[in-house]
């Protein structure tokens, strides 16, 4: 569910149930972190995924978690970059309007 971008909230509920009854929660915590990422909770996702990575001893699963961590970090960086970029666009738009040009670039 979470990986397919369908019913992410329901998927997170199922993950919480699985986490409480299964002995190795790393996989389910990774899924929870990925679900938080898909919901836009990047910092919470990153914190959980990094804990999963540190607690995981399986190389294949660690690799998957590392890919998830990389995606979350890229999203945080993109969000931070876009927040820095938006004021620049506003300044350019106001400048162009004041100069009588009605186009944006």
> Which residue matches tokens 């679900």?
35
105 falls in which pLDDT band (50, 70, 90)? very low
At 63 the pLDDT is 93
At 53 the pLDDT is 94
The mean pLDDT value of the chain amounts to 76
Convert the pLDDT of each residue in 30-77 to its tens digit: 888 998 999 999 999 999 999 999 999 889 989 999 999 999 999 999
In the chain, domain spans: 8-79
Which residues, 6+ apart, have CB-to-CB distance to 14 below 8 Å? 1
Burial 18-55 (b: 16+ CB within 10 A, else e): ebeeeeebbbbbbbbbbbbbbeeebeebbebbbebbee
At 9 the pLDDT is 74
């Amino acid at each position: 569910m979470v990986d397919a971008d369908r019913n992410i909230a329901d998927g997170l509920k199922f993950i919480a149930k699985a986490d409480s009854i299964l002995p190795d929660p790393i996989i389910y915590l990774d899924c929870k972190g990925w679900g938080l990422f898909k919901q836009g909770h990047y910092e919470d996702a990153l914190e959980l995924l990094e804990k999963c990575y540190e607690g995981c001893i399986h190389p294949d699963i660690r690799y998957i978690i590392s890919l998830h961590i990389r995606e979350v970090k890229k999203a945080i960086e993109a969000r931070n970059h876009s927040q820095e970029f938006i004021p620049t666009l506003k300044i350019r738009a106001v400048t162009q309007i004041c100069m009588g040009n009605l186009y944006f670039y």
